[in-house]
Structure 1
Amino acid sequence: MKARDGLVELLDPVVQGMGYELVGVEFDGHQRTLRVYIDRLEGITLDDCSAVSYQLSGVLDVEDPIPGRYQLEVSSPGMDRPLFTRAHFERFAGEVVRLQLNRPLEGRRRFKARLQGVEGDEILLQDEDKLIRIPYESIEKARLVPAFDH
Structure 2
Amino acid sequence: MALHDLVAQTVAGLGYDLVELERSAGGTLRVTIDFPWNSAEEEKFVNVEDCERVTRQLQYTLEVEAVDYKRLEVSSPGIDRPLRGDKDFERFAGEVVDIVLKAPMGAAAAGQVAANRRKFRGTLEKAEGAGWQVTWSDEPEPLPGQKPSKKKKEAPVLQVLGFTLDELKEARLAPIVDFKGRKRPGVQEQGK
Q: TM-score, normalised by structure 2?
A: 0.58
1:95 and 1:115 in contact (8 A); partners too: yes
- Alignment partner of 1:46 is 2:42: no
The Cα shift of 1:126 comes to: 1.2
Tell me, in whole angstroms, the C-alpha distance in 2 between the residues paired with 1:28 and 1:104: 29
Tell me, in whole angstroms, the C-alpha distance in 1 between the residues paired with 2:177 and 2:71: 31
Match of 1:35 among 27, 30, 43: 30
The Cα shift of 1:31 comes to: 6.4
Structure 2: which amino acid aligns with 1:25? E
Q: Secondary structure at the match of 1:103?
A: coil
Structure 2: unaligned runs, 5 residues or longer = 36-42, 107-115, 138-157, 179-192
Q: Whose strand proportion is higher, 1 or 2?
A: 1
Match of 2:17 among 17, 21, 28: 21
The Cα shift of 1:27 comes to: 2.4
For residue 84 of structure 1, what is the aligned residue in structure 2? 84
Q: Whose helix proportion is higher, 1 or 2?
A: 1
Cα RMSD over matched residues? 2.9
1:97 and 1:115 in contact (8 A); partners too: yes
Residues 103, 58 of structure 1: CA spacing in aligned structure 2 closer, same or farther, 3 A cutoff?
farther
Higher mean alpha-carbon deviation, 28-37 vs 76-85, is at: 28-37
% same residue: 36
Residues 100, 29 of structure 1: CA spacing in aligned structure 2 closer, same or farther, 3 A cutoff?
farther
Residues 34, 140 of structure 1: CA spacing in aligned structure 2 closer, same or farther, 3 A cutoff?
farther
Tell me, in whole angstroms, the C-alpha distance in 2 between the residues paired with 1:145 and 1:70: 32
